Structure formats: C-alpha cells, structure tokens
C-alpha cells in the first residue's frame, strides 16, 4: 500500500497523489504550496524546489529516492523563466544523483492556486 501524508499535498480535486502500476510509481503534479500555511513562494526557483521536495517526500515515504525517478514533466506559466527553473532543477538533482531523468517542460496559461509551476514524476521500483 502506497503511503501519502496529508501535510505533503494540497489536493484540489478527486485524484491520488501517487499510484503504482507494476514496477512504476506515478506521482501526480505537485504544486509549490504549503498546505498548513497556504504560503506559495514568490520566486520561480523557490517554487521549483518546493514542488521537487514534495515529490521527494512522497518517494521517501515509500522507501524510494530521487534516484528512482525516470521521467519528470514540468508545467509552467513562466516559460520566460526557464533558466531559473533549470538551475533549481539542476541543483536539486545534483544533491541526490549524477543522472537526470528524462524530462518535458510544457508552457501552460494557468495552474491551480495561481502558482507558476507544477511538477509530476514517474519513478521506477528497482
């Protein structure tokens, strides 16, 4: 049974934060909002890091790590801030591994709670 703690995710609809199919974990898009304080960092780099930290916490709860991530999808309303997103992304992954997962980055017009970024992940159980 997959574990998710309520403090990690702010759910804005009828979906699961994490689901398993065979040896893959699918982590729903994480937005950079603290459920308890409702604080959203103003800076896109801080938003990127917070969303990635939430993914990491979901993995850790399930005895996995960032090294298990094989695919990331980033949704952002700020494609003009891709340099800052990439730097935060790179710094985050460099803390845990020397390999980056496959990645897509998609520009969108709007995200929940007016955040600038949402990140989803697929992890392999190996």
CATH of residue 35: 3.30.1330.40
Q: What value does the mean pLDDT take over residues 96-111?
A: 96
Task: State which residues form the domain around 46.
Answer: 18-124
Asked if the structure places residue 9 within a domain, the reply is no
Q: What is the pLDDT of residues 23-75, one digit of tens each?
A: 999 999 999 998 788 899 999 999 999 999 999 999 999 999 999 999 999 99
Q: What value does the mean pLDDT take over residues 89-93?
A: 98
What pLDDT, on the 0 to 100 scale, is given for residue 7?
40
Asked if the structure places residue 69 within a domain, the reply is yes
How far apart CA 115 and CA 12 sit, in angstroms, is 13
Asked if the structure places residue 43 within a domain, the reply is yes
Number of structural domains (the chain) is 1
pLDDT of 8 higher than 50: no
Q: What value does the mean pLDDT take over residues 101-113?
A: 97
Long-range pairs, 111-116, Cβ under 8 A, ≥24:
111/31, 111/75, 111/76, 111/77, 112/12, 112/31, 113/10, 113/12, 113/31, 113/33, 113/40, 114/40, 115/31, 115/32, 115/33, 115/40, 115/47, 116/44, 116/47, 116/76, 116/77, 116/78, 116/81
């Amino acid at each position: 049974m997959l574990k998710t703690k309520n403090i990690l995710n702010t759910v804005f609809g009828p979906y699961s934060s994490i689901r398993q199919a065979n040896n893959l974990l699918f982590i729903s898009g994480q937005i950079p909002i603290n459920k308890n304080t409702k604080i959203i960092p103003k800076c896109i780099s801080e938003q990127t890091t917070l969303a990635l930290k939430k993914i990491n916490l979901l993995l850790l709860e399930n005895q996995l790590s960032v090294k298990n991530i094989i695919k990331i999808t980033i949704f952002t309303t700020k494609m003009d801030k891709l340099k800052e997103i990439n730097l935060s992304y790179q710094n985050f992954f460099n803390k845990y591994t020397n390999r980056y997962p496959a990645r897509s980055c998609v520009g969108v017009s709007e995200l929940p709670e007016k955040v600038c970024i949402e990140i989803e992940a697929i992890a392999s159980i190996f």
